[in-house]
Structures are given as C-alpha cells and as structure tokens.
Structure 1
Amino acid sequence: MSKSTATTKAPRDTPAQGRGRKAASAGDRPSTAARWGAEAFGTFLLVFGGVGTALYASAFPDDGNATGVGFLGVALAFGLTVMAGVAAVGGISGGHFNPAVSVGLAFAGRIGWREVPGYVVAQLVGGILGSSALALIAADGPAGYLASAQDAGFASNGFGDASPGGFGLGAVLLVEVILTAVFVTVILAVTGQKAYAAVAPIVIGLTLTLIHLISIPVSNTSVNLARSISAAIYGGPVALGQVWAFIVAPLVGAAIAGLAHLALTRAADVPA
C-alpha cells in the first residue's frame, strides 16, 4: 500500500469572512478621538514642561545669585517631556506632538495626508492649553511676574534682537531647517523597525535634548511650530511678528527629511 502524499489546504476566506477580518483589524486601531486626544496631551506636556522650565527654572531665583537650571536644564526638560509623552501615549497616536513630525511622516508615506490636519489641530490645541496654564500660574506669582515674562518674550523663538545670542534671520532659518530635518530623520529611523521599539522614546528624547543644546542660543529652539505658536501668543508683538519663521522652517525641514527617507527606502527596495 502506498502512502498518501495528499496535503490538506486551508480553506480560503469567503468574501464575508475577509470583510470580517479587515473590520477586526481596523477595530484594533485606536479611534480618531483617542489619537487626537493623545496628540493634544503629548503636546500639552511638551509645552508645559519645556516652556515652563524655561520660564520658571532657567534662572531661578532672579536675584543676582541664580542657581537655575540654565540652557542644559531647559534642553533636558524638552527631551524628558517628549520621552515621557512618547512612552505614555505613543502607542495610541504614534507620539508626534509636533506638526513638523506629522508632515514629515506624511511625506515619507508613513501616515496618510488626510490624517495630518486633525493631528495638527490637536497639537495646536494641546500646546496652547499648555502655554495658557503657564500664564495662569504666572498670573498668581509674585507681583509683575506674568508681565515680566511676557516682556521677555514668554520663552518664544526669535531672530535678531529676539534671538538669545543675537543671530540673524538667515542663521535662524538655516539651523531650524537642518535640525528639524535631523529630528524627523531620527524619528523615521527608530520607528521604522520593531527592534528599536523599546528604545525609541529614549532616542527621540535625547535627540531633542541635543537639538536644544545646539540651537537655544541661536533661535531659542523651535523645530516644532506648535511650541512656537503656543509661546508666541503670550510673548507679545515681536514674538507674534516673527513666528512665521518658526512655522516655515520646521515644515521645510520636515519635507526634506520625509522625501529623502522615501527616496532612500524606495532605492533600497530596487533589486540590484
């Protein structure tokens, strides 16, 4: 008697079963409201923690004997807040907390363009809530504290006389384009492979810290138009008049990074 060599094939899904599997897969993704809420929370945390440190702790106390955290402390505050935010809610929304990141990921093909407007609105809402909370705290501080913070620009970004180091518009635009491109490139790299999932929040946070260490003296560091707009609305007419630079430059940097990543990944997929 010969042994049977027949194998049993798994039955194919019926159309109804296929639709059911797709629906189950779609149901595994957090809802739109959850993703927007996560982006708003993360951007709130970024602005509240980073800008708050710049406002309250960078040169505290202001009596000539300051023992505040300085540039290093502010840089760490921005890095730590994004690290915490990505770890906390990155699994819900992707942990962008920055319109430039969302735009860069869209250029790279990681997210659909139709998702970008909702993300950007959520990020702006979260950032403005963060700066508004800081303004409310300052309003109940020592006499004249809020007015003094606003006169100093409310930790806004700027060029010329509004730059911490007096750097001109050209230098500010260049550093913001370059560093935003670097930031988005790092994010695309560490979020593109499952092997890096555990360390992604740390790498992203430390990259943002390094970016601040480089550019606080130049532009007070934006690389994030939600952060810039949120601070500028309390920073007075100069901050509002210059905020356009910190909208344009990060978006240009994000586009460069996203398109470069897309081109490189497509080239890598082409057989030799």
Structure 2
Amino acid sequence: MKKPFAEFIGTFTLVFFGCGAAVIAGMGSGPTAIDILGISFAFGLAIVAMAYGIGPVSGCHVNPAVSVGAYIAGRMELGDLISYVIAQVLGAVAGALVLFLILSGKAQGWNGGLGQNGWGVGYLGGYAMASAFLFEAVATFLFLVVILGVTQKGQPNELAGLAIGLTLVAIHIVGINVTGVSVNPARSLGPALVGMGTNPAALGQVWLFLLAPLVGAAVAGLAFKSGLLGTQAPSK
C-alpha cells in the first residue's frame, strides 16, 4: 500500500495547493491577491515538492494521465496502474473536500468555486469546446514528453522534479485562460464532484478533462514505446 498511499498524498497536495491558490488567494484583492502567474507556480511547486517527497516511493505520478502514459510506454504494470488511478482520484476528492470545508467557513465572497475546469461563454476566456480539447490534449502530450524523457533510464534525474514542475508552470501560464488547466483527470474530477452542488456545470463538462489528457498521454506513451522518442528501451 505504500505506493498508492504516496499517490493519494501527492494528488491531495496538488489539488489543495493548486486549486487552493486559485480559489483562496485568487479571490482576494490588493496585496492579498495572486494572478495567473501565482496560481501557475502554486501548481508547479506542488509537483516539485511531491516529486522529492514521494518520488522515491511511487515515482510521483499524481495524475492518471501520467500513469496511463507510463503504462503504454512499458514502464508500469497493469496492477500498479489501477491502484495508482484509484488513489489519485481519491486524493483529488479529499483535497477538494478539505478546500470546500475551509471555504464554507468564509463569511462572504465565496461563490462555491473549487478551481473547477471548464470552457465556453462565462468561463474565463470563453473558449470553445474544440479549443479546450485541443489545448488539453496537446499540453498533456508535451507534459508527458518531459516526464517520460527526464525519467528514462540512463538520464541524470536529480533535477527531474524541477523540470517537471516548471513545465507544469508553463502549461498553466498559457492555458489557465482557456480551461483553467487540467492535464490531469483526477485534478478535474475531484473539484467537479465535491462542488457539484454549487457548480453542476463543471461536472457536466468534466468528460473533456478525462478524455483529452488521456489522448495526449497515450500518444506520448506510444512515441516512447516505439522508440520515436527516448534513448533507452522501455523497461518495467
């Protein structure tokens, strides 16, 4: 149970810090508010911290798309994939639930948001569904290229966590205005489920944030499995 528990903690941390930055620090004004850059770094630094905190235990996937990409690339067993995804979803739900309980204690100003992803008129930049899907698929593909590249055998990986975290920062800087950025089905599903009472529209759109990241991750996994990318033969 060590690996699934590590994945639970890691995904909890990502949602708690990343979505927490968006809905707690992001809703402030004046010197207490943060902008897109601050939220982006909250997500990225959460990954950096967990990469070194739980990386030696589970590899710090904290993302079903990462686990699926690793499985397709031949770096993970099916049993581990299943246990990782379950732990990641539970961790995301727990992180969103803790945020909900904290924000429920706010006297005024909270609209029920938990950092849910979305698209369309009324959501951030108002991008269309096709734009949202394309961004999520491409961004996840690039994210997995970095992850699978810096963690392959023969690579010096002491700074792998930093490279992965900074990539996630860059993805958020570009994409927050498009979808709020998922590239992680668990990160989207947790807040959507916990917040369905106050924001049912997010749960209705969550399918895109389950499907698009998995498509991008699968393409990246196949690229490494085939040898098109990477310098080492995949090994489990």
Is 1:82 aligned with 2:51?
no
Query: d(CA) in 2 for partners of 1:144 and 1:199?
Result: 40
Matched residue of 2:76: which SS? coil
- The corresponding residue for 1:227 is 187
Count of residues in Structure 1 that have an aligned counterpart in Structure 2: 230
Contact 1:44 1:126 in 2 (8 A): yes
Query: d(CA) in 1 for partners of 2:86 and 2:63?
Result: 10
Contact 1:59 1:70 in 2 (8 A): no
Query: d(CA) in 2 for partners of 1:67 and 1:90?
Result: 32
Tell me how far 1:144 sits from its aligned partner.
5.9
Distance 1:81-1:211 versus aligned 2 partners, 3 A rule? same
Contact 2:152 2:232 in 1 (8 A): no
Query: d(CA) in 2 for partners of 1:107 and 1:231?
Result: 27
Tell me how far 1:201 sits from its aligned partner.
0.6
Matched residue of 2:33: which SS? coil
Identity of aligned residues (%): 41
- The corresponding residue for 1:128 is 93
Q: What root-mean-square deviation, in Å, do the aligned CA atoms of Structure 1 and Structure 2 show? A: 1.8
More relative contact order in 1 or in 2 (CA 8 Å, sep 6+)?
2
Contact 1:59 1:66 in 2 (8 A): no
* TM-score normalised by structure 1 residue count: 0.80
Greater alpha carbon shift after TM alignment, 261-270 vs 112-121: 261-270
Query: d(CA) in 2 for partners of 1:164 and 1:141?
Result: 23
Tell me how far 1:231 sits from its aligned partner.
1.2
Matched residue of 2:88: which SS? helix
Matched residue of 1:35: which SS? helix
Tell me how far 1:196 sits from its aligned partner.
2.6
Distance 1:139-1:204 versus aligned 2 partners, 3 A rule? same
Query: d(CA) in 2 for partners of 1:112 and 1:162?
Result: 42
- The corresponding residue for 1:248 is 211
Query: d(CA) in 1 for partners of 2:189 and 2:232?
Result: 39
Q: Give the letter aligned to residue 127 of structure 2.
A: F
Query: d(CA) in 2 for partners of 1:89 and 1:187?
Result: 15
- The corresponding residue for 2:12 is 44
Picking from 133, 136, 143, the partner of 1:173 is: 133
Query: d(CA) in 1 for partners of 2:232 and 2:3?
Result: 31
* TM-score normalised by structure 2 residue count: 0.92
Query: d(CA) in 1 for partners of 2:28 and 2:69?
Result: 37
Tell me how far 1:59 sits from its aligned partner.
3.6
Matched residue of 2:121: which SS? helix
Greater alpha carbon shift after TM alignment, 136-145 vs 210-219: 136-145
Long gaps (5+) in structure 1: 1-32
Query: d(CA) in 2 for partners of 1:104 and 1:158?
Result: 23
Is 1:140 aligned with 2:105?
yes
Tell me how far 1:66 sits from its aligned partner.
6.4
Query: d(CA) in 2 for partners of 1:164 and 1:267?
Result: 37
Q: Give the letter aligned to residue 58 of structure 2.
A: S
Query: d(CA) in 2 for partners of 1:49 and 1:75?
Result: 11
Contact 1:159 1:168 in 2 (8 A): yes
Distance 1:201-1:164 versus aligned 2 partners, 3 A rule? same
Tell me how far 1:162 sits from its aligned partner.
5.0
